[in-house]
Amino acid sequence: MLRQIFRFANKPFQVGLCGLLIGSLLTGTKTRAQSEQTLEDFLKTLNQKRGTYFLYDEKLLKTIRVTAPIPWKADTRTLLESALSGTGLTFRRVDDCYLIEPAARPLPRPQPTGQTPARRFTISGFVREKGSREQVNGATVYVDKTVATTNPYGYYSLTIAERDTVELVVSMVGYRRFYRRLPLPGSTSLDIELTSNTLLDEVVLTNTAGARAFSSSQTGQLTLPALQIRNTPALLGEKDVLKTLQFVAGIQPGLSGQVGLHVRGGGADQNLLLLDEAPVYNANHLFGFFSAFNADALQTVTLQKGGFSSRYGGRLSSVVDMTMREGNKQQWHGAVGTGIVASRLLLEGPLIREKASFLLAARRSNLSPVLGDFVASVIDDYTGTAWRANFYDINAKMNFDLNRRNKLYLSGYFGRNYFGGGDSLNRSQRWVNVLTWQNQTGNLRWNHLFSEKLFSNTALVFSRYNFETHRKNISTEGETSGQVTDLWRYFDGITDLTLKTDFDYFPSANHHLQFGLINTVRSYRLNGVQVVTLSALGNQSGLEKTESVETAAYAEDHWTLGKRIKLSAGGHITQYRIRQKAFLRAEPRVSAAVQIREKQAVRASFSDMNQFIHLLSNTGLGLPTDLWVPATDLIKPQRSRQVVLGFIHDFNPRWQLTVEGYRKWMRHVISYQEGADFIGITSAVRASEISWERNITAGNGQASGLETTLQSRSGRLTGSLNYTWSVTRWQFPELNNGNAFYPLHDRRHSVSVTGLYAFSPRLRLSAAWTFSSGNPFSVPVSGVPSFGHLGLGKADLVITPTEQLFGTESPLVQVRTSFSNFRAEANHRLDLNLQADLGRRRFKHRVEVGAVNAYGRRNPFSYNLMINPAGQLSLRRVALFTFVPSLNYLISF
């Protein structure tokens, strides 16, 4: 019938009729939805429109429908009064939520009066995820104005004055808010289960939902749930926690496409990366284009970049504390997926139902030859060479609930990277170059609850990082075919073994004490070389071993002073010993928050930090050839002092504005001396003559900045706008003629806009746009063709790609007059990601389509000094990623 009508109608009539039909369908759908919607659907819609949170019992609302016309332009209270009219329900404000409840309710008993002081009771327990029973870290638990946050193991404790009943609320991003009115006859143990939320109001791309202006005294802190990491656009679809953090104000990324973090003017080595409390020293896959952390295995990520907790030490700029998931204690689940870069597997389930569970997450790279050619093109163009690059990582975890007071955890991480290739050297020989690096961590933890007010965690932590590269010349002719004629091998590594005990003590409603002891033995393997050659150089070998011991103690009190002041005060003290030399460092930490109005607060902090391990790098690329070395009597520990002043304002439960300014002073920052590099201190030819300590120079640095973040935390459209102004200056007596200069990671302006729009709970579009002004380079002002290899008479030898990778060979001997004498062009790009969830029952499917640098901006990665056809020196911009599409598929069951 419709076809016949359209066949004889003219085009204007067709368009008009289509519009009329579509409008009628939409209007009819909307009218029916409004007249037939349940009260719960109405509250969801109101949440999406206004960003208002609601607490209610689902069973209470299921049979109630909203039939009266809804005046959507009215204020929230008027809307609720209209919707609840005649339902026997009423509402009232509980903190920043509206509680829906029966109209008749028991009134709380009045507080005791007179001279007899009121008794105080404690409510404590664990917060877990309903269904999986995984413990929830960072959930906010509050009764009236008394607030507590669950520790990394999901434990909370609140001490409040005696009363008849209390109203307890728990909020955490990704979960429905929990509410319960419960009698308080005395101290109570209450374990809480949070339900995972599929509502649009909890699909966020910002900080923890419900984190209010006066909820904490700490500055520069951020909690990222795994949900945010999975929703952020990523290079080739590989979700990456470190790249997600690059969108945060105050964090400068490494060079284009890299996962390195430069936090408030600090170097990439000044970030403490913890995976289930174990430090990870090289967090790079594929030379820093992807991080070593699998988002499938993570539960929460906590970043600290300002008011550092006293429990952390050993780095200057930031702490990234990643907690692995525990595994489902009730049901078996799994997921298998693949994409352009890697394939993944996830398995979890109960070992003993309700008592023990496990988690196994693994990734392995795809397309090894393609990835190898890509990395080789970044380093240089080696035509005809068959390069291969691959990586894998495995996360595993088991946990056991021995009883309510004792729990055991065993977790580990194993990751390995490979890059190698080879080609003909001459008619009788071929060369092979290989680089490998790997991380291993392990952690055995015991949680013990001494009482409802005292919680402890004791851990034995292991971490190891190894790097190796070798070059072989292999005979291809005659009887010696297949034999190695020349071998050059270099290797180094670090091994940590830590024993630590942490305590959480809740003496009263106004105090939360944290204290503990930490002892770390760190073993270094430096300048490991092995040379087998038929030349006059002969065979050589060597390895430098050294060991350091760090013993630390810390204490901190989170103190609430009245109704408007919160204070965190404490300190971290460390004794560092190496080669009969001892350093004693005390690190005071203090943070404060003052509530100036109901929705406004001012925060300030001071932190003193020390770092007893250094990373030697002269490329800024995060290559595995960056060398970790200890502080010694010649190379002193690094030290920083940072002051922060901030302002935070809640416009409403949905919108929040944060502004922070900081100033940081850094001492004993290290760098290579001019002319020194990795090969220069590790080559077998010179290993016996050159010590790495004598190729290092130390200096000081200063960093200042202003950070602004505006974020939307609920509704269909969530996201954040971040702006950072910053300046970083370094000064070394032996570099740049003693004059101050800007390091490679200095950028004056940075902007990031992230957003997530949920068309429905099953279809989401996320986008991220970033802009940063150019970073400084130290470019030569002149150059002449080189003769030989650094003047060592090596012109007659073949220069291998391994040496090219390490930066020891250049077509020009380059002369520069000063450091940071050139600033690159601005860097900006748009990343997009569309997620669609399919399937509802046993098998669920997720399809992701994305694009990095959607409009094809040629952002500078580096600049090469070239000689143009006219014989003049010129700079050539090298860009890595112009437009990179991605397609990922995941099936879960």
Residue 640 pLDDT:
95
Beta strand spans in 651-695 (E):
655-672
Q: What is the DSSP letter of 282?
A: -
Cα–Cα distance measured from residue 232 to residue 770, given in angstroms and rounded to the nearest whole number? 13
> How is 600-624 classified by DSSP, letter by letter?
EEEEEEEEEEEE-EEEE-SSSS--T
Inter-residue contact 448 to 456 (CB < 8 Å): yes
DSSP-derived 3-state class of residue 8: helix
**Single-letter code of the amino acid located at 269:** D
**Single-letter code of the amino acid located at 411:** S
Cα distances from 640 to residues 253, 328, 663, 667, 745, in angstroms, run 21, 42, 10, 6, 18
Residue 455 pLDDT:
94
**Phi then psi dihedrals of residue 229, to 5 deg:** -65, -40
**Which candidate, 550, 152, 113, places its Cα nearest to that of 322?**
152
Residue 537 pLDDT:
57
DSSP-derived 3-state class of residue 236: helix
Residue 202 pLDDT:
36
Residue 96 pLDDT:
66
Cα–Cα distance measured from residue 374 to residue 390, given in angstroms and rounded to the nearest whole number? 11
**Single-letter code of the amino acid located at 106:** P
Which residue positions in the chain have pLDDT lower than 50?
A: 1-35, 107, 109, 199-211, 620-622, 681-687, 785-813
DSSP-derived 3-state class of residue 373: helix
> How is 494-557 classified by DSSP, letter by letter?
EEEEEEEEEEEEEEETTEEEEEEEEEEEEEEEEEEEEEE-SSTT--EEEEEEEEEEEEEEEEEE
**Single-letter code of the amino acid located at 847:** V
- Give 703: exposed, middle or buried? Use CB within 10 Å, 0-12, 13-18, 19+: buried
Segment (H or E) for 810: none
Taking the CB of residue 590, how many other CB atoms lie within 10 A of it? 18
Cα–Cα distance measured from residue 446 to residue 456, given in angstroms and rounded to the nearest whole number? 8
DSSP-derived 3-state class of residue 841: coil
DSSP-derived 3-state class of residue 778: coil
pLDDT per residue over 293-351, tens digit each?
998 899 888 999 988 999 999 999 999 999 999 998 888 999 999 988 889 999 999 99
**Which candidate, 352, 325, 240, 326, places its Cα nearest to that of 289?**
240
Q: Whose structure tokens read 């209610």? A: 56
Q: What is the DSSP letter of 869?
A: T
Residue 536 pLDDT:
56
Cα–Cα distance measured from residue 674 to residue 110, given in angstroms and rounded to the nearest whole number? 75
Cα–Cα distance measured from residue 399 to residue 133, given in angstroms and rounded to the nearest whole number? 11
Q: Residue 500 is encoded by which pair of tokens? A: 């630590």
Residue 818 pLDDT:
63
Inter-residue contact 208 to 259 (CB < 8 Å): no
